[in-house]
Amino acid sequence: MTGHGSGLFPDMVLASASPRREALLRDLGWCFRVVPPAVEESILEDGDPGEQARRLAEAKADSVFASQRSSLVVAADTIVVLGAMILGKPDHPGDAFRMLRLLSGKTHKVITGVAVRWENKSASAIEETLVTFRDLTDRQIEAYLSGNESGDKAGAYAIQGWGSLLVRTIRG
């Protein structure tokens, strides 16, 4: 997409501190600025995970839009759900190991909420993907964790990186 701030397309801002989200949009050819949102990303243990992802994405977009009113602001949040258990970002390497051990050989949901703000308009959506992990040994989990890819990701893995090797199937 060309025309960054040209009038043809509005100035676009990604409301995120995630290098992966930035890389994903840049790989698609989008031109934008990055402004990290001032939002606490706490996940509630109860409530609908999809709505939580949507609300967090909306809060991120609103936070950045407050200072970027002439821009189109895009934000997202991802939550991993195994059964009734929400897996956020791991607190430490042991927590990441625990999460990956839980996901081993099982199907879980990856739910992403996306929000867009521009002028007096706003929109949001939820996308759900079913991911099935391979059966993982402790050694495979430790090898993955040694790559330092899991620390700031919901569910402790990055499917767009080496985490793709942990996955058997993706649906959605």
Helix axes 93-103, 138-145, angle to 10 degrees: 130
Inter-CA distances, 162 with 24, 73, 144, Å: 15, 29, 7
Q: What is the token pair recorded at 168?
A: 């058997």
Which one is catalytic: 11, 27, 62, 77? Answer: 77
Closest CA to 18 of 164, 126, 147, 151: 151
Q: Establish whether 77 is a catalytic residue.
A: yes
Distance of CA 131 to the CA centre of its chain: 14
Q: Point out which residues pair with 110 in neighbouring strands.
A: 80, 129
96 contacts 145 by C-beta, under 8 angstroms:
yes
> Could you give the CA distance from residue 132 to residue 62 in angstroms, rounded to a whole number?
33
Query: Active-site residues: which are they?
Result: 77
